[in-house]
Amino acid sequence: MKNKQQHWAKASFALLIFVILGYVIRFYPQQLTGFDNAIQSTIRGDLPAPLTAFFTKVTHVMDTKIIVIWVGLLLAVFTYKKWDSEALFLGSNLVLTGLLVLLLKNIYQRPRPSILHLVEEKGFSFPSGHSLASTLVLGSLILVIGQHVKHKTARYCLQGLLVLGIVTIVVSRIYVGVHYPSDVLGSMILGLAVLQFEYPLYDRLRFQWRFTGKQK
């Protein structure tokens, strides 16, 4: 119970930060202009060709069609290995990402940055669907790896690669010009809040299903 309360306290704090940021974005977006412009300029620079080629490709890893395919393959592997709670955790976070993005974009209705876009995107800017998806989906995998990979070095390496993946996707959304830095920051904070809230529930379900023999 204490562990659950600690996770939920962290989730509440992160959610509060997201709500405050969302309020500023909705009603006082000009207050973030300096913050956003400084980070955009630093990351994009003069758009060097090697970085442009890299980020315009890697950013598509979290496109809806592509993420559904590779997450679907992972769910098939999890189901085959009888990791049912892990499959439920990962799959539900993918679905939750879509629902949250659809709802929140229509609440905040923030226009996309008025700078050169290197990829085509439609709709509103906040929150960033790609950044939220990378935080929730790859974050779920980080937690699953923490439970299943016993070798410490291998576990840390795999988790480190996934963290790097999250950071790369987030940076790519700024680089290609379709999101403000505050968009991706808010999306990551929201994703962390959701993971902190979910983890005790998922961990308890996993224990119960393993204890009753419903899964390995």
Residues 6+ apart with CB under 8 A from 83: 144, 148, 215, 216
Q: Is-contact 75 137, C-beta < 8 A?
A: no
d(CA 145, CA 156): 9
Query: pTM for this one?
Result: 0.93
Continuous H helices in the chain: 2-27, 33-44, 49-58, 64-80, 84-108, 129-133, 139-148, 152-175, 181-211
How far apart are alpha carbons 70 and 208 in whole angstroms? 28
Percentage of the chain surpassing pLDDT 90? 93
Q: What is the pLDDT of residues 26-76, one digit of tens each?
A: 999 999 999 999 999 999 999 999 999 999 999 999 999 999 999 999 999
- Write down the pLDDT at residue 86: 95
The predicted pLDDT at position 24 comes to 97
Q: How far from 43 is each of 144, 153, 175, CA to CA, in Å?
A: 31, 31, 6
Tokens representing 128 are 């960033």
Element (DSSP H or E) covering residue 123 = none
> Would you state the pLDDT for residue 4?
87
pLDDT of residue 216: 73
* 149: region left, alpha or beta (phi > 0 left; psi from -120 to 50 alpha): beta
The full DSSP string for 30-92 is GGGHHHHHHHHHHHHTT--HHHHHHHHHHGGGGSHHHHHHHHHHHHHHHHHTT-HHHHHHHHH
pLDDT for 2 equals 54
The per-residue pLDDT string of the chain (216 residues; one tens digit each, 9 = 90 and over) reads: 558 899 999 999 999 999 999 999 999 999 999 999 999 999 999 999 999 999 999 999 999 999 999 999 999 999 999 999 999 999 999 999 999 999 999 999 999 999 999 999 999 999 999 999 999 999 999 999 999 999 999 999 999 999 999 999 999 999 999 999 999 999 999 999 999 999 999 999 998 988 888 777
